[in-house]
Amino acid sequence: MEFLRPQTWAEALAAKAELPGAVPIQGGTDVMVEINFDVRRPPALLDLTRVAELARWSAEPDGRLRVGAGVPYARVISELADRLPGLAQAARTVGSPQIRNRGTVGGNLGAASPAGDSHPPLLACGAVIEVESAARGVRAVPAEEFYLGVKRNALEPDELIKAFVTPVAGGPQYFSKVGTRNAMVIAVCSFCVALHPAERRAGTGIGSAAPVPLRALAAEEFLAAELDWAGTAPLAPALLTRFGELVGAAAAPIDDVRGTAAYRRHALSVLARRTLTWAWNDHRKAAERCA
């Protein structure tokens, strides 16, 4: 197995074009596990840790944030929690401190595991994934079009993930994840809700409960129709229950070693109710302060 160490983004793209089978590696938290399990033996690993620009984040002219694929979870938590709270909460649930120092959102996207913790907040926030090839340049792929199947994403063989671009939170966001231990656990299922008060809608993301991470579209439509954005009343129990049901119904879970399909659906409903309650209560408080 070759180990390629490009120093610049251009070199990285050139290497990927030359050897499309090369597997990019950042923290290695997914790649190395697969190699250890002998799931695959790629002809080469493409080490992107020396490409400095991947480890940076910045504000775009339109106010959105552009976060390099190599920014580790630990920095998402320490530097971006105020602007991307849902993603920061999700990052906090990843592995151990050592893994959060190494692992990256870019790696999560590259692995495209349905259980990846970054995916629900990226979906709920309306993030766009920036991918690039030497031959065709940059392409922007909306998160919900990025996940194609279990561990399959929209990358062409010669493309690399450069960054994701996401709006700064315009309202409360909450991420929740069920695992059978209280830390260092892979999601049995996970959920993120992001309120977008300016647009009078809420975004959602479901993880580990379908072949791909996905939005609960019917649940989002339901909230867009039912939420009283001008009001400051608590949410009616019936609304929360219905929202939970719609989120559970949006999932397509399976029985596996981590949990049963029935439990995943049930747990998603509970997570949906709770996270929406927290988000709405925050929103009410903010609205009351403004009033």
Partner 1 sequence: MTGIDTRAAEGARSAQGIGQSAPRPDGVLKVTGEFAYSSDLWLDDMVWGATLRSPHPSALIRSIDVGPALAMPGVLAVLTHEDVPGDPFYGLERRHQPVLAVDRVRYQGEPVALVAADHPERARRAAAAIVVDYEVTEAVTDARRAAFDPACPRVHEEGNVLRHQPVRTGSVFEAPVVVSGEYEVGMQDQAFLGPESGLAVPAEDGGVDLYIATQWLHVDRDQIAPCLGLPAEKVRLTLAGVGGAFGAREDLSMQVHACMLALRTGRPVKIVYGREESFFGHVHRHPARMRYEHGATRDGRLVYVKAEILLDGGAYCSSSPAVVGNAASLGVGPYEVGNVAVDAYGVYTNNPPCGAMRGFGAVQACFAYESQMDLLAEACGLSPVEIRRRNAVSQGSHLITGQLIDAPAPLADMLTELESFPLPATTGTGSDLRDLPGGVSQTTRGEGVRRGVGYGVGIKNICFSEGFDDYSTARVRVEATPDGPHALVHTAAAEVGQGLVTVQAQIARTELAELGVEEVTLVPADTSVGSAGSSSASRQSYMTGGAVKTACEAVRERFRELAAGHPGLSPAELVERFGPLEETREYRHRPTRPMDPLTGQGDSHTQLALCVHRAVVDVDVELGLVKVVELAAVQDVGRVLNLLALEGQIHGGSAQGLGLALMEEVQVVDGRVRNPSFTDYLIPTILDMPPMRMSILENADPAAPYGLRGAGEPPTLSSTPAIAAAVRAATGRPLPRVPIRPQDIALP
Out of 16, 102, 258, 283, point to the residue binding partner 1 (CB under 8 A): 258
Q: For residue 167, what are the contacts with CB-CB under 8 A and spacing of at least 6? A: 63, 64, 65, 125, 126
Out of 121, 259, 272, 283, point to the residue binding partner 1 (CB under 8 A): 259
Span interacting with partner 1, options 101-109, 129-137, 208-216, 268-276, rule CB under 8 A: 268-276
Helix axes 217-226, 237-250, angle to 10 degrees: 160
CB of 9 or CB of 278, closer to partner 1:
278
- 153 strand-pairing partners: 147
CB of 178 or CB of 202, closer to partner 1:
178
Q: How far is the CB of 90 from partner 1 (least distance, A)?
A: 9
The amino acid at residue 254 is I
Out of 148, 150, 184, 254, point to the residue binding partner 1 (CB under 8 A): 184
Q: Does 229 bind partner 1 (CB under 8 A)?
A: no
Of all helices (H) and strands (E), which one includes residue 74?
helix 73-80
Q: Does 84 bind partner 1 (CB under 8 A)?
A: no
Cα gap 133→124, rounded to integer Å: 27
Q: How far is the CB of 2 from partner 1 (least distance, A)?
A: 15
Q: Does 164 bind partner 1 (CB under 8 A)?
A: no
Out of 71, 112, 131, 186, point to the residue binding partner 1 (CB under 8 A): 186
E strand residue ranges, the chain? 2-4, 23-25, 44-47, 57-59, 65-68, 128-133, 137-142, 147-149, 152-153, 160-166, 173-178, 189-196, 201-207
Q: How many residues bind partner 1 (CB under 8 A)?
A: 33
